[in-house]
Amino acid sequence: MVIGTDYRAMAHILEKRTGLPVLVFDTKGIAFYDQGQSDAFLALAKRFVVEIPQEREETAEINIIGATPFDLGSEKHLEDLKDLIRACGYDKITSWGIGGRFQELPLTSAAKLNLVINRSGLAAARYLQEKYGTPYVVKLPIGQWAAMSLHEKLRRGMTGEKYEAPAPKSSGKTDVKRALVIHEQVMGNGWRDCLQMDFGIPQVDVASFFSMDEELLQPNDVHLVEEEDLSALARERAYDLIMGDLLFEEFLADFTPNYLALPHLAVSGCLYKDDSLQFIGAYGSALLQKKLAFWV
């Protein structure tokens, strides 16, 4: 890009010589991984998804967009998510990311719903809604309430019925009043749902060093630029609980009595991948109930 290389011309030549599709992205080398993921999902949607009738048997009912290991972690988390969706009566599920197959992409326009599980999948979901009218939901269901909420949304929303979120269901008591989650935005929002709706923690803020979509922000959420921003945030707001990658714990130890490690592959790579925790649906509530019990 710096020297003005014509990548599109190169892609055209490669396609002509190999007979294979070639996708091109404008990159500067200074954005983070999440922007690259977003560009890739959008390019796939624009290039390969075509309009087909919903009656075709092989079409997906639900597309999961954004199932990348950088945010979601292990494939077992995707399987837990699929189990939740199957429990709602939907068996035809397509994954854009882990476990996905290229051959399924052209058929995804006929899906009844796109479930976006990280911010990187938003651009593609918005394009598919505009192009094919496919509705989308942005949610990673962490905790019992989130699992029930997703179930009701799938059961009612996809049939046109008015959706009403279920009432909070307390999984336990805690003295934690103010918490911070440091992660990718949609994952962070998922943990916020669990902390607030399952445990009644009144203030849960989400902070991220990666891109944050304005529509998903809540008033006290913060986009971080440098490590000093995170230290200043923790010092100013005096959180009772901070959740984030283990690499953040070292310089946050002086600002909170409780730190819950959430390995994030995009931050610490493979250092803590073996510490990956099950958190989809009720697993998330059980995990927090076990941890918070020490802090009551």
Strands, E assignment, the chain? 62-67, 93-97, 113-116, 136-138, 178-182, 203-208, 222-223, 241-244, 258-261
Label residue 162 by pLDDT band (50, 70, 90).
Answer: low
Burial 55-92 (b: 16+ CB within 10 A, else e): eeeebbbbbbbbbbbbbbbbeebbebbbebbeebebeb
Alpha helix segments (H runs only) across 223-264: 227-237, 246-249
Whether pLDDT at 58 is above 90: no
- What are the residue boundaries of the structural domains of the chain, listed by start? 1-30, 33-138, 178-295
Fold of 33-138: Rossmann fold (3.40.50)
Amino acid 37: pLDDT: 94
Whether pLDDT at 241 is above 60: yes
18-22, 52-56, 72-76: lowest mean pLDDT where?
52-56
Q: Report, as an integer, the average pLDDT of 128-151.
A: 92
Stated length of the chain? 296
CATH, domain 178-295, list 3.30.420.40, 3.40.50.10860, 3.40.50.1980, 3.40.50.720: 3.40.50.1980
CATH topology of 33-138 equal to that of 178-295?
yes
For residue 265, give every residue at least 6 positions away whose Cβ sits within 8 Å of its Cβ, in sequence order, or none: 69, 70, 71, 73, 273
Alpha-carbon gap, residue 57 to 211, rounded angstroms? 37
Instruction: Encode pLDDT of 87-137 as tens digits.
Output: 888 888 999 999 888 888 887 888 888 999 999 999 999 999 999 999 999
The CB-based long-range contact list for 81-88 (8 Å cut-off, 24+ gap) reads 81/117, 81/140, 81/141, 81/280, 81/281, 83/281, 84/141, 84/147, 84/150, 84/151, 84/280, 84/281, 85/115, 85/150, 85/154, 87/151, 88/150, 88/151, 88/154, 88/155
Nearest to 242 by CA among 159, 161, 183, 158: 183
Label residue 82 by pLDDT band (50, 70, 90).
Answer: very high
Instruction: Encode pLDDT of 168-196 as tens digits.
Output: 666 556 788 999 999 999 999 999 999 99
Q: Which amino acid is at 169?
A: K
Label residue 26 by pLDDT band (50, 70, 90).
Answer: confident
Beta bridge partners of 178: 203
Cβ neighbour number for residue 266 with a 10 Å cutoff: 18
**Residue 153 tokens, joined:** 């949304």
- Which residue do the tokens 């009144």 mark? 202
Amino acid 205: pLDDT: 98
For residue 205, give every residue at least 6 positions away whose Cβ sits within 8 Å of its Cβ, in sequence order, or none: 178, 179, 180, 181, 192, 218, 220, 221, 222, 237, 239
Amino acid 130: pLDDT: 95
Which segment, 130-144, 253-267, 269-283, is predicted with the most confidence on average?
130-144
Alpha-carbon gap, residue 4 to 263, rounded angstroms? 38
Of 5 and 164, which is predicted with more confidence?
5
Amino acid 296: pLDDT: 45
Which segment, 113-122, 244-253, 280-289, is predicted with the most confidence on average?
113-122
Label residue 16 by pLDDT band (50, 70, 90).
Answer: very high
pTM for this structure? Answer: 0.90
Label residue 163 by pLDDT band (50, 70, 90).
Answer: low
Amino acid 53: pLDDT: 66
13-17, 21-25, 108-112, 164-168: lowest mean pLDDT where?
164-168
Of 231 and 54, which is predicted with more confidence?
231
Mean pLDDT of the chain: 87
